[in-house]
Amino acid sequence: EIAMTQSPATLPVSPGERATLSCRASQSVSTDLAWYQQKPGQAPRLLIYGASTRATGIPARFSGSGSGTEFTLTISSLQSEDFAVYYCQQYKNWPRTFGQGTKVDIK
Amino acid sequence: EVQMLESGGGLVQAGGSLRLSCAASGFTFRSYAMSWVRQTPGKGLEWLSTIGGSGVSTYYADSVKGRFTISRDNSKNTLYLQMNSLRAEDTAIYYCARGSDEYYHFWSDYWGQGTLVTVSS
């Protein structure tokens, strides 16, 4: 099983600032990685797949990068609606596995 | 508009059974793999099971293999999860999710709103 580790657990950021979230895989997943956003009381929403491709309707301020074992989700200028929990997920192998999440908090 | 609506959650005693349903609309159901994912405060998001578009191929997490069964009825656009021998640690919100393709469900592009399952010991 591929373990996904996200850091930090909590990221305090001021509105308008840049946020950088990390995700590390225990073995290479190539670019078979997705990012999701989840707000309280809501289901996860797909942001990024293929490590760097934005899903339909996702604003350009969200960008993903990385390959192999190291990945980054960057939110270039945080808007109020971006304060949420973000999860990475690998789909290289079964079982599909998620990171434990990074909560982006208001600083 | 793609929509998925889960139902069937509730309170059940340990050792009991439940069947979750996920009614889908707004897309050609048989053309997509579908999965169940659960979420607990302690363990975060956990993928449980995937079924291919035709219903032939299924995949399970070790934590539920032998206890849970995924199935689908493409004539009713509905996904199911039969959960047997439930344990306290199965307490979670259960989501159905649409896969990226017909076969392997690489990523989930749409999710239902979730249904809460509580297993009492």
What is the per-residue pLDDT across A51-93, written as a single tens digit (0 to 9) for each? 999 999 999 999 999 999 999 999 999 999 999 999 999 999 9
As a whole-number percent, the residues of chain B with pLDDT over 90 amount to 91
CB–CB of A96 and B47 under 8 A? yes
Q: H or E element: which one contains A72?
A: strand A70-75
pLDDT for residue B118: 97
Q: What's the pLDDT score for residue A22?
A: 98
Contact B106 A95 (CB under 8 A): no
Task: Check if A45 contacts B (Cβ < 8 Å).
Answer: yes
Determine the pLDDT at residue A13: 96
Phi–psi pair at B90, nearest 5 degrees = -85, -5
Mean pLDDT of chain B: 96
According to the model, what pLDDT value does residue B104 have?
85
State the smallest CA–CA distance between residue A46 and chain B in angstroms: 6
Cα–Cα separations (whole angstroms), residue B14 to B10, B84, B90, B120: 12, 10, 9, 6
Cis-peptide, bond into residue A95, ω within 30° of zero? yes
Q: Which phi and psi angles does B29 have, rounded to 5°?
A: -55, -45
- Is the pLDDT reported for residue B42 higher than 80? no
Note the pLDDT of residue A34.
98
Report the DSSP pairing between strands B115-120 and B10-13.
Answer: parallel
When pLDDT is cut at 50, 70 and 90, the band that residue A95 belongs to is very high
Confidence of residue A29 (pLDDT cuts 50, 70, 90): very high
B chain contacts of residue A42, beta-carbon cutoff 8 Å: 113
Q: Give B65-111 pLDDT, tens digit per residue.
A: 999 999 999 999 999 999 999 999 999 999 999 999 988 889 999 99
